[in-house]
Structure 1
Amino acid sequence: MLAAASSAGMRLRAGLLMLAAALLAACASSGWNLPAPEENPLEQALMLEGVSPAKSALVIYRLEDEKVWASGGARIRERFTPASTSKIPHTLLAYEFGAVTGPDERFEWDGQKRFVDSWNEDQTFSQAFQRSTVWIYQIVVPRIGAARLTEGLKGFGYGNADIGGPEQSTRYWLEGPLAISATEQVEFLARLARRTLPLSASTYDLAVPVMVLERGEGWTLYGKTGWKSVEGQMDIGWIVGWLEQSAGDAPGTYVFALNMDMPGGMEEAPRRRAAVERALRSLGALPAER
């Protein structure tokens, strides 16, 4: 298990968040040699859900004491196309720059049948986030504009913040060049959970509620899944988000990011959330029985 805490001298360069310094220092000090699976609760959780620790990266960060748990060695800093997890920053920027009127703005289905049934109907912007409706974001994202997208993603510290050229304006988050690591996802989401991103209060108020995945007694789970599928390349599955826990054995706010190889495609998709939830339960952050 990797753990890191903040300290006065833990900064790698000016302007980096304390979280970034803590994560990088933890990895460097370990020489990327993670504990044996029986000593690492994250690796155990992954294996129990059929996810190979050698072909995945999982980082969990607790805001209150800046403790970090990680599995995946150097992969936690390897960048991958974010796919639909990019709907988190895109939703924030859409509200911040007025690309949508609000969560209830409706989009008329164009009649084109797509492989996800729930996409094939009129729906609101909030429903598009929850259903991961790609075609609606392919309408909204260009409305934000290339300059503001680049500025916004850079301001978020969102991976390489590379949106490519005009011909990639509706695909850059699905096929690249946009790319981000598990560590960078956690850094970004920690700022979102703390509400320290350069955004207005109204943007947070509009965007955060739609990101709720599930609620229970004393806890709320926020997040977004993603699936990068490009012909000739390994499929990559994502789930990122944070857990706010006030009534468990280990209360706190836990930010997480998992990416994993999915050679079996979408058949393996349920393992993403199952593995993260098992990992959170192993840390006492989620109740054992739900």
Structure 2
Amino acid sequence: MQRLIARPSDIAAGLLMVAVTAVLGACASMAPPPELSASVAAEGVDPATSTLVVYRLEDECTWISNPDRAATRFTPASTSKIPHTLIAIETGAVTGPDEMFKWDGQKRFVDSWNEDQTFADAFKRSTVWIFQTVTPRIGPAVLHDWLQQFDYGNADVGPADNVTQYWLTGPLAISAEEQVAFLSRLARRTLPLSARTYDLAVPVMVTESGEGWTLYGKTGWKSVDGEPELGWFVGWLEQTGGEAPGTYAFAFNMDMADPDSDLPKRKAVVLRALADLGALPAAN
């Protein structure tokens, strides 16, 4: 059942839990909110094996489907390309979104990966081999330090020889609540980053836009042999008009029994929920 909650702080988590507590603040002034689990179910996803967190920055209204799962950490998969893009630009590991990467000629299962492309292309296409080229440039110690500064889940990058895999197979893990706390700081531009990094990185994260609104985000798909398939969609919406203007950070994850049919549902659930909240126009 969707509800507004505030979790007590956890001493071991320090500043992270301060951020999470703020994200889960009460919204006493608003009318009873729509049932997010109904939005999830309407797209053919079981609310019991998924979670969705939506947080409006202006008044700290928070809506949650499946609160227990919202606090559970999972491997972030390609949603980690959001912090990785910020870190790569901030540290100079890449010159910017237009840096070109030469394809190594190795055929991979996604056709759009098999060509030369820019760093911005790699974000939008989720080109794993390019991020596996960039993370060793940064190095595990620096990556760990930045992820800690971002309060990004457990910030665990594992041993040095795992520097190209830790966000795909673990040990890096983050909850939907923690994703929303991180994304809220990104949307507010309160992460410890330069103005240049924000100006270069944030436009890369646009997924779609309409009259008065822009949606930023990244999907993720954890696919590891012998483990359950997991899908993500995280990001934020900037809405200047409509029924409920504001900035909405969100994080959704779901178990996927059949990826072919389940992958499109990651984004569809979030779009429906935002429409049900009045933050986006209802789909035709």
TM-score by length of 1: 0.90
Cα shift readout 1:155-196 (whole Å, capped 9, x = no counterpart)? 000000000012211000000000000000000000000000
| Matches of 1:213 and 1:280, distance apart in 2 | 15
Could you tell me how far 1:23 is from its partner in structure 2? 5.0
- Given that 2:23 and 2:60 are in contact with CA atoms closer than 8 Å, whether structure 1 keeps it comes out as no
Match of 1:35 in 2: none
1:15 is aligned to: 15
Q: What does residue range 87-106 of structure 1 map to in structure 2 within 5 Å? A: 87-106=81-100
Aligned residue in 2 for 1:30: none
Match of 1:48 in 2: 42
Q: Contact between 2:244 and 2:279, CA under 8 Å: does it hold in 1?
A: yes
- 2:139–2:163 CA contact under 8 A, matched in 1: no
- Written as runs of structure 1 = structure 2, the 5 A alignment for 1:242-281 is 242-281=236-275
Q: Is 2:152 aligned against 1:158? A: yes
Separation (CA, whole Å) in 1 of partners of 2:109 and 2:232: 19
2:4 maps to: 3
Cα distance in 2 for partners of 1:238, 1:217 equals 26
Query: Do structure 1's residue 286 and structure 2's residue 254 form an aligned pair?
Result: no
C-alpha spacing 1:235/1:168, structure 2 compared with 1 (3 Å): same
Report if aligned partners of 1:4, 1:22 keep a CA contact under 8 Å in 2: no
Query: Does the alignment pair 1:204 with 2:198?
Result: yes
Distance 1:16 1:171 in 2: 24
Q: CA deviation at 1:41?
A: 2.3
Q: Give the direction of change, closer, same or farther, for the CA distance of 1:19–1:280 in structure 2 (3 Å limit).
A: farther
**Which aligned pairs between 1:126-205 and structure 2 lie closer than 5 A?**
126-205=120-199
Question: Is the alpha carbon distance of 1:133 and 1:259 closer, same or farther for their aligned partners in structure 2, counting shifts above 3 Å?
Answer: same
Cα distance in structure 2, aligned partners of 1:51 and 1:82: 19
> Which residue matches 2:77?
83
How far the C-alpha of 1:247 sits from its partner, in A, is: 0.8
Segments of structure 2 that go 5 or more residues without pairing to the other structure are 27-32
Measure the CA separation in 1 of the matches of 2:117 and 2:16.
39
Tell me the residue number matched to 2:30.
none
What is the root-mean-square deviation in Å for CA atoms of aligned residues?
A: 1.9
Instruction: Check the 8 A contact 1:223/1:242 in 2, yes or no.
Output: yes
Counterpart CA distance in 1 for 2:19 and 2:104 is: 43
Whether contact under 8 Å (1:63, 1:255) holds in the other structure is yes
Q: Distance in 2 between matches of 1:267 and 1:143?
A: 36
The 1:25/1:255 distance shift into structure 2, 3 A limit, reads closer
In the superposition, relative to structure 1, how do residues 232 and 11 fare at CA in structure 2: closer, same or farther (>3 Å)?
Answer: closer
**Partners in 2 of 1:194 and 1:23 — Cα distance?**
13
Match of 2:119 in 1: 125
Equivalent positions of 1:57-76 (< 5 A) are 57-76=51-70
Identity of aligned residues (%): 64
Q: Deviations over 1:110-161 (max 9, x none)?
A: 1111110000000000000000000000000111111110100000000000
Number of corresponding residues: 275
